[in-house]
Amino acid sequence: MNSDHISLHNKQFEPYLTADQLATAIGAVAARLNQDYAGQQPIFVSVLNGSFMFTADLLKAVTLDCEVCFIRVASYEGTSTTGKVKEVLGLTEELAGRPVIILEDIVDTGHTMRMLLETLGAQKPASLEVATLFLKPDCLQHPLEIRYVGLSIPNDFIVGYGLDYDGLGRNYPDVYKAV
């Protein structure tokens, strides 16, 4: 095994995407947001814990006047989704009549995103869109229109850049996939 591989909880991971590749994808999403929301003041709703790095880097490249808030939901245990979404930390900001963009690290089954779109949509925002760093189209179990996608990827289990395996691996600047 070469030194680029990492081990988390006795599971092996190999390099998948570099920090530079991620920065390019995030820059492209930010450019589209800057264009599409010119003259508006959107509120970005960042889904913790996984999206914290994506949110930070994306908002550095967003040139709009905007707000950011955070919501925490959980649906994963280990390497697979539980299929049940548990809201852990609620949203306190008023979204009615405002352009809202949900920031997510990864959309795979769509369970979490479906719940978030229903929950936030009930507040009657002016618009409600999703920006995700990663989309696994082959895993989607719900019809979702994700307008802003950094990278579409296959159904690999990945860690790094905010994504974890039972709490570990979020701090890596690159993304690794399970071997």
**Active site members:** 108
The C-alpha atoms of residue 48 and residue 78 are separated, in whole angstroms, by 17
How far apart (Å, rounded) are the C-alpha atoms in residues 146 and 168? Answer: 27
d(CA 53, CA 148): 17
Q: What are the b/e assignments for 93-113, b being 16+ CB within 10 Å? A: eebeebbbbbbbbbbbbbbbb
**If you ran DSSP here, which 8-state letter would residue 81 be given?**
E
Q: What are phi and psi of 4, to 5 degrees?
A: -75, -20
CA 142 from centre of chain: 17
Contact indicator for 47, 116 with CB cutoff of 8 Å: yes
